[in-house]
Amino acid sequence: MPKDLESMRHAFRMQVDRRRRYELGIFLPLVVFILCVIVAAFVRPDFPWNVILVAAAILCWLMIAAIGIAMPGLECSNCWQKLDRAVHTFCPECGSSNLEAGGWLQSTRCNSCRKRLAVRRGGRSWKIRSCTYCGVVLDERGV
């Protein structure tokens, strides 16, 4: 493997690790938020700690929003384009340029790996292994 490709993959791995730390940072406030809402829903309305539970839930929700806004996107360490938004010239799964554009109700499809590349409400349906702009393989496992 060429030295510059190795350094690009290392730089991308650093971005992935940083993003995963942000994703883990959302987990604790989310659990506390859910617990506060559940406890506040089942406790009598005149319970003196209800105000504290609601305030804690709001604070956790604000923390989740702030972490989500501050969470860094993934960028190709070769061409520095954003990777987690849409599919462009190359397949993010296999790196092939053999993409078939989707129609009005159909998603883009890679003819090499047969993967449907759709963005749904739950997120994207593919793992990022290659840059969709320049085709460089950034991560063998995928993100």
Three-class SS state of 37: helix
Residue 137: phi and psi, rounded to 5, are -80, 115
pTM comes to 0.72
* Domain coordinates in residue numbering, the chain: 3-70, 75-143
- N-to-C CA span, the chain: 21
pLDDT digits (tens, 9 = 90+) for 66-96: 998 998 888 998 888 988 777 888 999 898 8
Contact yes or no for 130/93 (Cβ under 8 A): yes
pLDDT digits (tens, 9 = 90+) for 2-47: 568 888 889 999 999 998 899 888 999 999 999 998 988 888 777 7
Distances (CA, A) of 131 to 58, 64, 102, 111: 38, 29, 19, 17
